[in-house]
Amino acid sequence: MAAPVEILSRLLWLRDAAALPDAALAGQLGIEPQALAALVKAHPGRFPEALVFHLTAAERQAIPEAPVLAFTEAGAALLTGLLPGSEDRLLTLLPAFAEARHVLTDQAELSARVAAMEQKLDLVLKALQGEEVEGAPPERPIGFLADDLPKGLKAKQRTTKKG
């Protein structure tokens, strides 16, 4: 059975999706990557581009192993029934893939939250050090300022209370 950690180490974040390169998936299933690519090519209607996608030249340059295809979790599940004898391996791979995908997305979410907190902390530190902070309201003195009141307002308030 494939361990989630083993899948996680091979998982890529491509086009806003967790994807497993063709070589890693083929290795888990015990077949050659070329056989996997031929299977996808033979059944184009079964494998939509959103679930099994061909990597662009720029994406291949950014990845050390340079895979040709990348399979999302659902794309890997679409292989069920097409690989005789590999169903058991595929069915043990899918839960590990799902767990690894959850870890990867949780990590990305946590990273975004930490970045947002760092920005807020930076603003607080600047404010504490007396630096100007963009978007901060202008400073106003604390307390009551009689100069801001229209003339005679205090006298009118006193007569209203007495009367």
Residue at token pair 């040709």: 68
Rounded distance between C-alpha atoms, residue 51 and residue 48, angstroms: 6
Per-residue pLDDT tens over the stretch 129-140: 877 767 666 677
What length is written for the chain?
Answer: 163
Residues 105-134 as b or e (16 or more Cβ within 10 Å = b): eeeeeeeeeeeeeeeeeeeeeeeeeeeeee
The arithmetic mean of pLDDT across residues 48-71, rounded, is 82
- Residue 118 clears pLDDT 90, i.e. is over it: yes
- Residue 148 clears pLDDT 60, i.e. is over it: no
- State the maximum Cα–Cα separation within the chain, in Å, rounded to a whole number: 98
Highest mean pLDDT among 71-75, 86-90, 141-145: 71-75
Cα 157 to Cα 10, 148, 161: the distances in Å are 75, 15, 6
Res 115: pLDDT: 93
Which strand (E) or helix (H) includes residue 88?
Answer: helix 87-128
Query: 3-class SS at 134?
Result: coil
Residue at token pair 């004898």: 85
Cα 61 to Cα 4, 13, 58, 68: the distances in Å are 26, 14, 5, 11
Per-residue pLDDT tens over the stretch 7-36: 777 777 778 777 888 888 888 888 888 888
* Token pair in block for residue 32: 């050659």
Rounded distance between C-alpha atoms, residue 149 and residue 80, angstroms: 78
